[in-house]
Amino acid sequence: MDTPLVDPWCQRCGLAAARTQVVQPEVPSGATVLFIGRDPGKTEDKGGQPFTGRSGKLLRGMIAALGVPAEQCAFHNVAACHTPKDRGPTKDEMRACRVWLRRVLTLRDWKAVVVLGKDAEWAVGEIYPVLPAGYVGAPHPSAGLRNRASRRTLAGVLRGVAATIGVAGREPLDRLVTWSGGIDG
């Protein structure tokens, strides 16, 4: 069995008391792109895999629609535990997880790192006050579930990431913006 990237028995903050489990990063051996979000949702807390709830399905579906192979994508959150009532992690809770975030960020030389949402941008900025080349901010896909403009911005960033890793992107931008993959209904 592979060594977990995040301590499955972590007690670094109060989130340990309410979580079902620590959600481990998903890092396939061939991954060249890292997506970083805020914290696991209820679905992720239950299943133990990041980006598998509604917003994760939107993100993964848009990535697949561009033709980016799943094995090239890694997923992690700045907080490894679900927050009570989906309140989002506090800055102290994100700081407590910084050791795990740093471990994933330095795991390999990523071709692109997509930082999803303001909380993730803040946490990554705590490690890198000046972002290294290849890092790009984007709206969190949860914003794309509620707001077409956020989805359009996210689609544009994903198209740029696809180009960075040599994938032309088979879906037109407008189609990505309207793509639902069954999650909107």
pLDDT digits over 26-53, tens only?
Answer: 999 999 999 999 999 999 999 999 999 9
pLDDT at 84: 92
User: pLDDT at position 130, please?
Assistant: 78
Q: What is the pLDDT of residues 102-158, one digit of tens each?
A: 999 999 999 999 999 999 999 999 998 877 878 999 999 999 999 999 999 999 999
Across 155-178, b (16+ Cβ under 10 Å) vs e yields bebbbebbeeeebebebeeeebbe
Ordered structural domains, the chain, with CATH: 14-178 (3.40.470.10)
pTM, two decimal places: 0.92
User: What three-state secondary structure class fits 76?
Assistant: strand
- Side by side, the strands of the sheet bearing 112-116 are 73-77, 33-37, 112-116, 135-138
Quickly count: other Cβ atoms within 10 Å of residue 106's Cβ. Answer: 10
Alpha carbon distance 140, 131 (integer Å) = 18
- Asked if pLDDT for residue 73 goes beyond 70, the answer is yes
How confident is the prediction for the chain on average, in pLDDT?
Answer: 90
Q: Residue 64 CB: number of other CB atoms within 10 A?
A: 16
Residue 172 banded pLDDT, cuts 50, 70, 90:
low
* pLDDT greater than 70 at residue 181: no
